């Protein structure tokens, strides 16, 4: 496994929020489906949806230029193309020889290891490809060309989490919760071009546009988030994480609050015959809006469409 080389990248892409991704070996694209689901709001408030916000920071010889965009509909597609790119030898970064030899119940090791991203196939479906279904919410598609993928260490969960199966009505079966571990809510991708090459950020659709990010001044930064509007919240300090001990047994008496984790099943049929949500063990931040991954499937885009 070749080491990461962030400084030599032409551009770095950061993705966070409700999305499902899959690396397509045939096209060398990382395919991302942003799930534009309706947010939970207090009774009487107007409806709100996951907001797809984009920040592009272009590095220049004399400084930098920052551009902000927001996609409010599902009539656009996003492409991050690589002109004269260097295809990575190891598109998915991890440490060791065996990809399945990973313990997420201890917050130790390399926090950029891609396996910190929740894998719905290896972690929850017995290592088998999941079945995708026509999504029950709008989806915005994105394709990233020739990326080097790794976990966003700045988005690591602050506590250990349990997974909780949901019944047919979507209610949690709390007595059947089980330890899951730590995970990151975001991932990153480095794209490296040769001299004279460039990363091109492109949005196709009504009033589409593109931004060229040439190699040599970077790494340029492309940040894409798909989250609900922020709420007032308190956070525990990073140092309060338990980094030495294995996950403690599940606490069946802990209060449960639904998270966006369950919304992945608007595109995934089920995992191991079940649908899950997550909750922190003991005290901790309960809100979750993470990117998930598929590492057994060949592709995720285009998403299935209804036959009716």
Of 22, 58, 25, the C-alpha closest to 223 is 58
More confident: 228 or 255: 228
More confident: 280 or 147: 147
* 14-40 residue pLDDT tens: 999 999 999 999 999 999 999 988 765
Determine the distance from the C-alpha atom of residue 230 to the mean position of all C-alpha atoms in its chain, rounded to a whole number.
18
> pLDDT class for 237, splitting at 50, 70, 90?
very low
**Segment 39-65 mean pLDDT:** 79
User: How are the residues of the chain apportioned to helix, strand and coil, as percentages rounded to the nearest 5?
Assistant: 5, 40, 55
What DSSP string describes 22-77?
EEETTTTEEEEEEE-PBPP--TTSPP-B-EEEEEEEEEETTEEEEEEEEE-SSS-E
Would you say residue 54 has pLDDT above 50? Answer: yes
Would you say residue 150 has pLDDT above 90? Answer: yes
Q: Tell me the C-alpha distance between 292 and 123, whole Å.
A: 11
Asked if residue 268 is part of any domain, the answer here is no
Residue 1: strand, helix, or coil: coil
Predicted confidence at residue 236, as pLDDT, reads: 45
Of 2-6, 87-91, 229-233, the range with the lowest mean pLDDT is: 229-233
* Tally of domains in the chain: 1
Structural domain span for residue 81: 6-159+182-252+289-294
Residues contacting residue 250 through CB under 8 Å, at least 6 positions apart: 162, 177, 178, 179, 281
Asked if residue 151 is part of any domain, the answer here is yes
Asked if residue 307 is part of any domain, the answer here is no
Asked if residue 164 is part of any domain, the answer here is no
More confident: 146 or 244: 146
| Distances, alpha carbon 225 to alpha carbons 39, 154, 283, in Å | 15, 14, 26
Of 10-19, 46-55, 173-182, the range with the lowest mean pLDDT is: 46-55
Asked if residue 274 is part of any domain, the answer here is no
Predicted confidence at residue 308, as pLDDT, reads: 61
Would you say residue 233 has pLDDT above 50? Answer: no
Predicted confidence at residue 219, as pLDDT, reads: 95
Q: Is residue 116 within a helix (H) or strand (E), and if so which, with residue range?
A: none
Place of tokens 């069946």: 252
| Distances, alpha carbon 163 to alpha carbons 113, 178, 238, 277, in Å | 21, 6, 22, 6
Reported residue count of the chain is 308
Asked if residue 265 is part of any domain, the answer here is no
Asked if residue 26 is part of any domain, the answer here is yes
* 180-224 residue pLDDT tens: 999 999 999 999 999 999 999 999 999 899 999 999 887 999 999
């Amino acid at each position: 496994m070749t080491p990461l080389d962030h400084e030599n990248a032409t551009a770095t892409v950061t993705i966070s929020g409700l999305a499902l991704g899959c690396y397509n070996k045939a096209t060398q694209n990382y395919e991302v489906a942003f799930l534009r689901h309706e947010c939970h709001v207090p009774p009487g408030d107007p409806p709100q949806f996951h907001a797809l916000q984009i920040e592009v920071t272009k590095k220049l010889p004399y400084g930098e230029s920052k551009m902000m965009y927001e996609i409010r509909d599902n009539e656009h597609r996003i492409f991050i193309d690589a002109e004269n790119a260097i295809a990575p030898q190891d598109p998915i970064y991890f440490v060791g020889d065996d990809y399945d030899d990973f313990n997420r119940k201890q917050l130790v090791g390399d926090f950029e290891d891609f396996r910190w991203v929740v894998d719905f196939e290896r972690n929850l479906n017995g290592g088998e490809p999941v079945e995708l279904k026509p999504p029950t919410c709008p989806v915005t598609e994105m394709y990233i060309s020739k990326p080097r993928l790794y976990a966003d260490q700045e988005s690591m969960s602050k506590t250990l989490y349990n997974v909780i199966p949901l019944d047919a009505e979507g209610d949690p079966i709390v007595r059947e919760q089980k330890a899951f571990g730590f995970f990151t809510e975001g991932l990153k991708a480095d794209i490296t071009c040769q001299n004279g090459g460039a990363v091109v950020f492109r949005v196709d659709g009504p009033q589409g546009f593109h931004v060229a990010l040439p190699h040599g001044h970077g790494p340029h930064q492309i940040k894409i988030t798909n989250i609900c509007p922020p709420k007032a919240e308190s956070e525990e300090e990073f140092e309060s994480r338990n980094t030495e001990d294995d996950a403690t047994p599940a606490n069946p008496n802990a209060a449960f609050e639904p998270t966006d984790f369950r919304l992945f099943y608007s595109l995934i049929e089920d995992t191991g015959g079940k649908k899950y949500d997550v909750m922190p063990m003991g005290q901790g931040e309960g809100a979750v809006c993470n990117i998930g991954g598929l590492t057994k499937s060949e592709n995720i885009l285009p998403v299935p469409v209804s036959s009716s």
